[in-house]
Chain A
Amino acid sequence: MENSLVNILKSQPIGKSYSTGLTLYQSYKATSGFDYQIGMREASGLYIFEGFAEGTGCAYLNKILVFFGQDKQLIADINLPQGTFYNRETAKEAIKQVLCKYFYDACQRENMSFTQSEVEEQVEDILDKCYFSESRRAVLNWAKEVGILKA
């Protein structure tokens, strides 16, 4: 996936994955029938690339790369265990655990103090917004349209 990323970072999106909400940059249909895809989400300067394989009735999450800033510096490289089903919550939790761990390690090396719960809460907020804000917006608009919520 890393070699593809050199090209992806320079390329334009090719579409959107509606089943994951990712902006797609690469897609390959294997002879097995699985669609291997690389998509991206962005939030607060974080660029999250997810590699996943979509089949009939299931999707597997293979790898996540997290970059930061316009220079796209690699922060985290997460390999998921084989057979991890794709689920936004799973991806979000994997990134949250790794980002928090790297942050704690960096702070300890630099002798910087931090409150663990505050760090987790802020990382959770950023990732939650990245993964679910569009869904929440859509469901509230739908709920208002059909009269579930008052407009």
Chain B
Amino acid sequence: MSQEISLFRNFGIATPNTITFSKSLNALVGVGYTSMAGNTYFNSLRMADGILIKEDIGQGYAHSFLNGLHIYDIRTKTLICEKLFSCHYYSRDTAKSDAIDMLTDMIGKAASKENIILNYNEMRSKVSDIVRRAFFADQMQEIQKTLKQLSA
């Protein structure tokens, strides 16, 4: 796990004792903070093919909420896009859909600024494949793959 920790430390989001792997979430999970109201706030981290998706999750008594999504480019350690939510129930499917929308929107805008012509549907399909892997493929394998790519 130490290599994975150093990967996230480069993003300023992990110290050795603050990150663990959650099988149920299929994601790396940071240390949570429980408020006086009893709600627990934590981050979960997923990656696939060079992007890292950070979910800001709030867990209440009856529901979990997705409060924010940040997507980073791992190689350059650059924040690509972010979105904040309010009263947005958390599920892996909705978080995945939100991430796909954010990425395709960002790619579309960036391509438009650079006068790059692209097939939107094809682009969205490829982005969907990658983001789906970040949410549903085995994250420990994805992390190992990313570390190999970074050290290559």
Contacts and interface: CB of A to CB of B under 8 A. Distances in A.
A141 B73 contact: yes
Contacts of B30: 56
A139 B114 CA distance: 12
B58 A57 contact: yes
B70 A136 contact: no
Interface string B72-109: 11011111111010000000000000000001001101
A137 B7 CA distance: 22
A18 B107 contact: no
Contacts of A143: 107, 123
Given A18-B12, A57-B58, A145-B50, A138 B78 contact: yes
B130 interface: yes
Given A57-B56, A85-B84, A138 B113 contact: no
Contacts of A118: none
A56 B30 CA distance: 9
B41 A58 contact: yes
Interface residues of B, number: 44
Given A139-B80, A142-B73, A56 B110 contact: no
A149 B118 contact: yes
Interface of A: 15-21, 33, 55-58, 85, 87-88, 134-143, 145-149
In the A-B complex, the 8 residue pairs with the smallest Cβ-Cβ separation, listed nearest first, are A136-B110, A57-B41, A138-B78, A57-B56, A138-B73, A56-B33, A148-B126, A139-B80
13 contacts: A56-B32, A57-B42, A57-B43, A57-B58, A58-B68, A85-B84, A88-B82, A139-B73, A139-B80, A140-B107, A140-B111, A149-B107, A149-B116
Interface of B: 11-13, 30-33, 41-43, 49-51, 56-58, 67-68, 70, 72-73, 75-82, 84, 103, 106-107, 109-111, 113-114, 116, 118, 123, 126-127, 130
Given A21-B78, A135-B78, 17 more contacts: A16-B12, A18-B12, A18-B79, A56-B41, A57-B41, A58-B56, A85-B84, A135-B80, A135-B81, A136-B114, A138-B76, A139-B81, A141-B73, A146-B126, A148-B107, A149-B107, A149-B111
